[in-house]
Amino acid sequence: MNTRTPAIVLGGTGYVAGELLRLIAGHPQLEVAAVLSDSQPGQKIADAFPHLRCAYPELKFSAADELPAIVGRSPVSALFSAAPHGVSAAIVDRLLAAASVAGTRIHCVDISADFRYSSQAAYEAVYKRAHGAPERICEFTCAVPEHLSASPTPHVAHPGCFATATLLASVPLLALGLTDTRLFVTGITGSTGSGRKPVEGTHHPLRHSDLYAYGALSHRHVPEITACAKRATGIEAEFNFVPHSGPFARGIHVTVQASLKGSTSTAQALDALRSFYQECPFVRIGDAAPRVKDVAASNYAHLGAVTNGHSIAVMSVLDNLNKGAAGGAVQWMNRLLGIAETAGLATPAPGWT
């Protein structure tokens, strides 16, 4: 493609939107056409994200009523929605309808939870609210890029960050028949996973130098993880998930444990993971236990594994804002646009974050 594709970002002042803007600034194919913010329309993006001032010194947030005209200006547009769940679907629906009227085409990747479920009933059972655009659900497929070579639908819903880390560790175990279908998951996430608006769980004096569980065995992402794992493997697995809040800003560390069906050594388990992900440029399997600092602020995920002959533990680390959200969304958008999957995403982690 010789010309850049205009990109529209929804949920403009949030952390994920900020990460999307950072990635788009260095992307060879995408350029920002509009950034929606209901709270700060007309304000400079650089005021909300000072670290992006060099990339967007004058660009301002747009209001919702400006977007339909923008999607009609180009034959193809890229739409990223980092709007909150319960809000995203209706906005996406309006923009897809506006593009249809204008005779243009939009590729959409939704990073909210609004299109992660295959039915209105499944979504509403988890989020306890009416879906904003139920007729659009069939136009979206939810999957980790590494577990689906191409989307069968015109748009994609990116799984959540905990879901991404858990699925990367779990799907090979299920798909290769290495373990029982009952899996135990412990996950630790950085404070940026709770969003930009300060709440008690992310307030620095409370979270600093502390570690605590929340939503144990009842986290709302479990149905999403279960559904995505079944879509990838055809297996209805049981996920027993205990998430934790960690005292760092970026990153996720997940450990998945399960009983082995046969006698599998650590070396054999690592070889199986390497074979499973050999065509996946952003997943690396190491002999040593993976560390969050080695992937933070990148689109890479590192996995490791150990066995004792009867059980296996697979460790998975990734950046919650990047691989678990914005970076994974750009990875999907690259595919939808028919360009290299790694475009704009191959920069390694900075280290020492």
Give Dmax (Cα) for the chain: 62
- The label of the residue with tokens 């995408």 reads 30
Alpha-carbon distance values, 14 to 78, 108, 155, 326 (Å): 19, 18, 22, 11
pLDDT tens, position by position, 95-134: 999 999 999 999 999 999 999 999 999 999 999 999 999 9
Q: What is the pLDDT of residue 2?
A: 62
Pair of tokens at residue 194:
């709770």
Residue 146 near residue 280 (C-beta atoms within 8 A): yes
pLDDT greater than 60 at residue 1: no
Q: What would the pLDDT profile of 203-237 be if each residue is shown by its tens digit? A: 778 888 999 999 999 999 999 999 999 999 999 99
Q: How far is CA 161 from CA 112, 250, 252, 266, 311, in A?
A: 11, 11, 8, 26, 25
Q: How confident is the model at residue 190 (pLDDT cuts 50, 70, 90)?
A: very high
What pTM does this model have? 0.96
Domains of the chain: 5-142 (3.40.50.720), 162-320 (3.30.360.10)
Q: Considering only CA atoms, which of 101, 91, 30, 90 is closest in space to residue 66?
A: 91
Query: Chain-wide mean pLDDT for the chain?
Result: 95
What whole-number distance in Å separates Cα of residue 345 and Cα of residue 336? 15
User: Phi/psi of residue 184, each to 5°?
Assistant: -115, 125
When pLDDT is averaged across residues 58-66 and rounded to a whole number, the result is 95
Partners of 163 in beta bridges: none
Are the C-beta atoms of 81 and 8 separated by less than 8 Å?
A: no
Judge whether 280 counts as a catalytic residue: no
What integer pLDDT is reported at residue 341 of this predicted model?
97
Do 112 and 85 meet the contact criterion of CB atoms below 8 Å apart?
yes
The one-character DSSP state at 63 is: P
End-to-end CA distance of the chain: 35
CA distance 234 to 305: 23
Q: Percent of the chain scored above 90 by pLDDT?
A: 92
Encoded tokens for 270: 């690592």
Plot region of 17 (φ>0 → left; ψ -120 to 50 → alpha; else → beta): alpha
DSSP label at 324?
I
Q: Which long-range contacts (CB under 8 A, 24 or more apart) does 60-66 make?
A: 61/12, 61/13, 61/35, 61/36, 61/37, 62/12, 62/34, 62/35, 62/36, 62/37, 63/36, 63/38, 64/36, 64/38, 64/91, 66/34
Residues 6+ apart with CB under 8 A from 198: none
Which of these, 90, 143, 142, lies nearest to 117 by C-alpha position?
A: 142
Q: 64-90, pLDDT tens digit by residue?
A: 999 999 999 999 999 999 999 999 999
Residues whose CB is less than 8 angstroms from the CB of residue 220 and which lie 6 or more positions away in sequence, other chains included: 126, 127
Query: pLDDT band at residue 39, thresholds of 50, 70 and 90?
Result: confident
Question: Which of these is catalytic: 108, 138, 142, 161?
Answer: 161
Task: Summarize pLDDT for 293-336 with one digit per residue, the tens.
Answer: 999 999 999 999 999 989 999 999 999 999 999 999 999 999 99
Q: Of 44-53, 191-200, 263-272, which gets the smallest average pLDDT?
A: 191-200
At 236, which helix (H) or strand (E)?
A: none
- C-alpha 160/C-alpha 221 separation (Å) is 8
Q: Phi, psi (5° rounding) for residue 97?
A: -65, -40
